[in-house]
């Protein structure tokens, strides 16, 4: 059955930011832009994002730039919607288009982690419950989620923004605080908000976001039946080494699904 990628409203309130006054940079490759568009659609198809959430990729020519869609529902993103940003999260070629309020998540992580090439931020439904129960952290329960390691830390925005924020990462300071939790983690939960996932490739970041949501779903279901046997740290590391070398398999499958739906 074909799905409607056009449903859902854009994130609100939205922000319209003037382009930063900088020298033009080399244009990112069309292949990279197309892959970012596809990443948006795959995340939508797999229930990781809905009308909200976003995915970015580092520019393939300039390491101090990244690509992110304009403020819109991810399932509707096209190549024309992709905007280039500097690491301060200023649009370079926004041309007056509205941008995501939480673009600082991406800029500050790319600044803090030169090895990271892609970032996914989402509010996936099974992740959020695990972000608010301190005694029940997200931990890997099956081999596809070894990247969670010994357990995902939770970012508490009250520690940095006080008790009156709207939980959104709307400034460089909050983005920097979140980025500081990625020293050795691939995923960080955000209390009452969702999660952010990083990886050294866009395909791997998408893979991790999809399987983090799946792991959370399994973990919540298993908790209804008794004590859970989690992966050991050693098992998690072995699973990453074995499974993440095969992400082209799900990526190609997801790509075919996304392309079939877009043709409908």
Catalytic sites, residue numbers? 102
CB 99 within 8 A of CB 91: yes
CB 100 within 8 A of CB 11: yes
CB 16 within 8 A of CB 178: no
Pairing label, strands 154-155, 187-190: parallel
Q: Long-range contacts of range 178-181, CB-CB < 8 Å, 24 or more positions apart?
A: 178/105, 178/108, 178/109, 179/105, 179/108, 179/109, 179/111, 179/112, 179/113, 180/112, 181/153, 181/155
Q: Which of 41, 202, 217, 195 is nearest to 144 (CA)?
A: 217
């Amino acid at each position: 059955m074909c799905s409607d990628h056009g449903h859902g409203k854009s994130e609100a309130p939205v922000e319209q930011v003037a382009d930063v006054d900088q020298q033009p940079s080399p244009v990112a490759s069309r292949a990279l832009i197309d892959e970012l568009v596809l990443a948006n659609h795959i995340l939508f198809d797999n229930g990781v994002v809905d009308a909200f959430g976003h995915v970015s990729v580092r520019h393939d020519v300039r390491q101090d730039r990244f690509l992110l869609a304009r403020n819109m529902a991810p399932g509707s993103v096209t190549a024309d919607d992709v905007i280039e940003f500097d690491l301060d999260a200023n649009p370079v070629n926004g041309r007056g288009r509205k941008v995501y309020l939480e673009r600082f998540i991406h800029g500050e992580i790319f600044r803090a982690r030169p090895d990271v090439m892609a970032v996914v931020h989402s509010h996936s439904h099974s992740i959020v419950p695990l972000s608010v129960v301190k005694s029940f952290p997200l931990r890997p329960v099956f081999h596809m989620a070894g990247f969670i390691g010994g357990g995902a830390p939770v970012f508490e925005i009250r520690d940095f923004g006080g008790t009156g924020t709207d939980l959104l990462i709307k400034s460089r300071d909050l983005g920097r605080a979140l980025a500081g939790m990625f020293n050795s983690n691939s995923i960080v939960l955000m209390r009452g908000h969702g999660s952010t996932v990083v990886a050294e490739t866009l395909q791997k970041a998408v893979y991790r976001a999809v399987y983090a949501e799946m792991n959370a779903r399994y973990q919540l279901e298993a908790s209804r039946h008794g004590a859970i046997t989690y992966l050991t740290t050693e098992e998690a590391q072995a699973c990453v080494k074995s499974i993440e070398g095969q992400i082209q398999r799900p990526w190609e499958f997801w790509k075919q699904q996304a392309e079939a739906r877009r043709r409908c």
